[in-house]
Structure 1
Amino acid sequence: MFHAHSMTGHAGWDVTLEYIKNYTTWIGMKNDVNNFIKSCTFFRNYREDKGNFQSYTAELKGPFSKIVIDLIGPLRKSENGFRYIIVATDYTTRWTEARPLQTKRKEEIVCFIFENIFLRHGPPRKLISDQGTEFLNDLVKSLCNKMKTEHSSVSACSPNVMEQ
């Protein structure tokens, strides 16, 4: 986990050892870490000619740099007239923001994105939604353009959105 974690990439022997030392230690730890790194398929395939390990680190993306947004509903109307729930989830931390909506009009959608995402967490680099007209419209496009947020859409039946 410390060597090939999605947030650290394939760190080398020394970096992996330091990560582990922050949490635990054991007799023979240096040797165990060294053997594990040597057995890594990634490192065997991408080793430099000199035999040194070529370090690879994934680009770190901070919290709220990529947001996935969707609607739940229509639901049975609540006492206050709500029929939908809009949900936005941060790709990195899985933090979720949600709000009930009476309709799925673009004005309500943009209000949620602006207040619950942009104002609270800053504009993300990327916003991912399905292809519903509540997300693919002039207001959402304008907001994303002004805030320098890339908006992309995926099929509503795409189960792996959080893995993009």
Structure 2
Amino acid sequence: MRNQGKKVIFNTFKRRRKDDSRFKEPNKEYEWLFRRQVVEEINRRIVTYEDEDIIILDKSPYCEYFYQKTKSFDRGLINAIGNHKIEKEIFRYENIIENAIVIFLENKRCWENYIKRETKKSGEGHKASYDTLNKEEYMDMVRMFKDYQNIYERNKKYKRVEIRNDNESWKKVYEEILNSNRMDENEYNRIIKEINKEKKYIIKEGILFRIENNVELRVIRKYKFEGLMYIAHDHEQAGHFGIKATYNRIKENYYWKGMLKDIEIYVKSCDSCQRRGKPIGKHELNVIKVIEPFYQIGINIVRPLPVTERNNRYIVTAMNYFTKWPEAKALEKADAKEVARFIYKDIICRHGCPKKILSDRESHFNNKIIESLLKEFRIKHNFSTPYHPKTNG
């Protein structure tokens, strides 16, 4: 069918290899020829469209495969503005809709050119190191592109560009797009079957929502997480808020399982937050001052250990802070009586009474028996902080 004088602009873009962060120009020998043929095919297949100009962006998997493996692809759409910059604000459809119409295209020629380019050798038999598409990856992307097709249906100004499906390969892919769901197939079928029983979930226009306190929260799929986090945290208007603030902002409109943990990991790994964020406050370290041998000792329990022939499985240890002299004794039980006996026989009777003893807050140290013993010999008992129990050695 004739295009009836309508202007069709076919935009292409640089592709990024899976194993290379640099952007590469398309291979003119194969890719540009394919693109020109696709434009001609599109002009023949357009049935109805009211606008004067139609902007068509190539969404073929053999190019998008490289974007799909990066965060930038998950965060946005490719549009016609600024030489096809990645539009990161994927939840703000209006700006994209006003400037571009995206059509997903695919046929056998795409695969032929893709395989031909990947297997072509140059120089001394060099071959491209990145993997070719497999069926599973291809179908994942087809489902993903479904969302990009549907966003234009929200705006009455634009109508879907109709493409005649007289080619079997085009028809198969296009039907896959139309029949794809916004959620995993198994999960979607389960909710459809049990939707009448579900009290916390509803489906509107194919989108799953969770009901919390009479508020509808959109359920976010995994591949949309990066885009949502960009809007809620990375965007210049988002302010790079902390974990709690970002979580509180997102939970007002969205939901997914484990969202707090995912948000925490994302915020902690944010490069800007790590470079410019407020440093974690730390108290100054206090030096433990000692003036003579056995002025202060640190005491601790080592446990649990393999049981010996005498049924001992614990070791009580003590170290002099001045000379680093160690004392230790194997114990069958790590209780208050055994610890008190060790302090009296192995410390006081051998080295005299220390001025201070430092221990953790475990029950074998923090009890009335130890308190009574140390009070009798006028020994001050200090405890290490719960957040830094290694202080006592």
Q: Same fold (TM over 0.5)?
A: yes
SS of equivalent residue, structure 1 residue 136: coil
1:79 to 288, 302, 309: 309
Q: Which residue of 1 aligns with 2:341?
A: 111
2:390 to 136, 139, 159: 159
1:135 to 365, 368, 381: 365
Deviation at 1:96, TM superposition (A): 0.3
Point out where structure 1 has 5 or more consecutive residues left out of the alignment.
1-58
Distance 2:339 2:291 in 1: 25
Distance 1:98 1:133 in 2: 19
Q: Greater Rg, structure 1 or structure 2?
A: 2
Q: Which residue of 1 aligns with 2:295?
A: 65
Q: What aligned pairs does 1:11-90 form with structure 2 within 5 A after superposition?
A: 61-90=291-320
Contact 2:361 2:383 (8 Å CA) reproduced = yes
1:7-48: CA deviation from partner (whole Å, max 9, x where unpaired): xxxxxxxxxxxxxxxxxxxxxxxxxxxxxxxxxxxxxxxxxx
| TM-score, L = length of structure 2 | 0.26
Point out where structure 2 has 5 or more consecutive residues left out of the alignment.
1-288
Deviation at 1:161, TM superposition (A): 3.9
One-letter code of the match for 1:158? P
Structure with greater proportional helix content = 2
Moved more, 130-139 or 152-161: 152-161
One-letter code of the match for 1:104? A
Q: Which runs of 4+ in 1 moved over 3 A?
A: 155-162
1:109-141: CA deviation from partner (whole Å, max 9, x where unpaired): 000000010111111000000101000011110
Q: Which residue of 1 aligns with 2:91?
A: none
Deviation at 1:60, TM superposition (A): 6.3
Q: Quick one: structure 1 residues 60 and 79, their matched pair in 2 at CA, closer, same or farther if it must change by over 3 Å? A: closer
Q: Quick one: structure 1 residues 110 and 161, their matched pair in 2 at CA, closer, same or farther if it must change by over 3 Å? A: closer
Count residues in correspondence: 104
Greater RCO (CA < 8 Å, at least 6 residues apart) = 1
Q: Which residue of 2 aligns with 1:95?
A: 325
Q: Quick one: structure 1 residues 158 and 76, their matched pair in 2 at CA, closer, same or farther if it must change by over 3 Å? A: same
